[in-house]
């Protein structure tokens, strides 16, 4: 049987990995799994998980591993063709959990790091608009929606994320630097994963071209 494609996107806040994940999913006809989007929806709906996750997200720190991991692994188990992981794993514990799960699966694992510096992240995040319903993201300057504050994809109202304030972005950046970035080094050295890096400072289409070229090449 053909292995399922697992694509792990790694990138700091504002790197555009969410946008790239959505573009890639459309092009490849596979799903995106974004814990951030799932958690924001849960917060809006005031579910038990949403209530637990809210204070962490607001501060820009990671939600406890047990909450996020069970949510993610449950969903990966259901996929047929492949999946794009946008925001998981984000630390060593999650890398181990995912690795343990994938060990017994027939998958092809590709890791793509979308790299940007902090100053670009702050510029991009101020001005970002997000759809809480379908996860699509916009930017008032770089990627405006066709109708003001309305999602092009699903017609729902766009929001400014509560973790978009400069102070919170800096916290999220520190967490990325010390907890998530080191996992890129782990993947670089692990023969079960193919690791690639793209320059995330370019415009959306250019970054996507790089991302898609990598995926295409690995699937040829
Ligand atoms: P994102 O939409 O990927 O930028 O994630 C937004 C926020 O959701 C993060 O700052 C975390 O608080 C939480 N979150 C998303 N993914 C994870 C994860 N894998 N582990 C823990 N917390 C997460």
Tokens read off for 120: 């670009």
Residues 125 and 169 sit within 8 Å (Cβ to Cβ): yes
Most informative mutation of 63, 84, 183 for ligand 1 (most atoms within 8 A of CB): 63
Give the distance (Å) from ligand 1 centre to CA of residue 167: 16
- Could you read off the pLDDT of 61-96 as tens digits, one per residue? 999 999 998 889 889 888 888 999 999 999 999 999
Most informative mutation of 44, 62, 131, 169 for ligand 1 (most atoms within 8 A of CB): 62
Strand partners, 112: 9, 196
- Host H or E run for residue 118: helix 118-125
Q: Name the pTM for this structure.
A: 0.90
Measured CA to CA in angstroms, residue 183 lies from 3, 101, 123, 178 at distances of 23, 17, 25, 10
Task: Please indicate whether residue 12, judged by its CB atom, sits closer than 6 Å to ligand 1.
Answer: no
Tokens read off for 220: 């040829």
CA distance 106 to 3: 5
Task: Please indicate whether residue 16, judged by its CB atom, sits closer than 6 Å to ligand 1.
Answer: no
Residues 45 and 51 sit within 8 Å (Cβ to Cβ): no
- Could you read off the pLDDT of 94-150 as tens digits, one per residue? 999 999 999 999 999 999 999 999 889 888 888 899 999 998 999 998 899 999 999
Q: Which residues are catalytic?
A: 17, 90, 128, 161, 172
Half-sphere exposure of 205 (CA within 13 A, CB side): 2
Q: Ligand 1: which atom is nearest the Cα of residue 90? A: 19
Q: Ligand 1: which atom is nearest the Cα of residue 57? A: 12
Q: Ligand 1: which atom is nearest the Cα of residue 86? A: 3
Contacts of 39 (CB under 8 A, 6+ apart): 49, 50, 53, 57, 63, 68
Half-sphere exposure of 138 (CA within 13 A, CB side): 22
């Amino acid at each position: 049987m053909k292995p399922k494609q697992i694509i792990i996107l790694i990138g700091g806040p504002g790197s555009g990995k969410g946008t790239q994940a959505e573009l890639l999913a459309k092009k490849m006809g596979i799903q995106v799994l974004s814990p951030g989007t799932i958690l924001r929806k849960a917060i809006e709906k005031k579910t038990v998980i949403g209530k637990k996750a809210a204070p962490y997200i607001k501060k820009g720190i990671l939600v406890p591993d047990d909450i996020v991991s069970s949510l993610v692994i449950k969903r990966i188990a259901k996929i047929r063709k492949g999946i794009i992981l946008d925001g998981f794993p984000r630390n060593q514990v999650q890398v181990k959990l995912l690795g343990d799960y994938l060990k017994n699966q027939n998958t092809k694992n590709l890791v793509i790091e979308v790299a940007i510096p902090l100053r670009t992240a702050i510029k991009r995040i101020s001005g970002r608009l997000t759809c809480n319903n379908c996860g699509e993201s916009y930017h008032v300057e770089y990627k405006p929606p066709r109708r003001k504050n309305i999602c092009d994809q699903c017609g729902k109202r766009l929001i400014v994320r509560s973790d978009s304030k400069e102070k919170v972005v800096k916290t999220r950046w520190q967490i990325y630097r010390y907890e998530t970035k080191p996992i890129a080094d782990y993947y670089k050295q692990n023969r079960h994963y193919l690791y690639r890096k793209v320059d995330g400072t370019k415009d959306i289409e250019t970054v996507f071209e790089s991302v898609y070229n990598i995926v295409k090449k690995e699937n040829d």
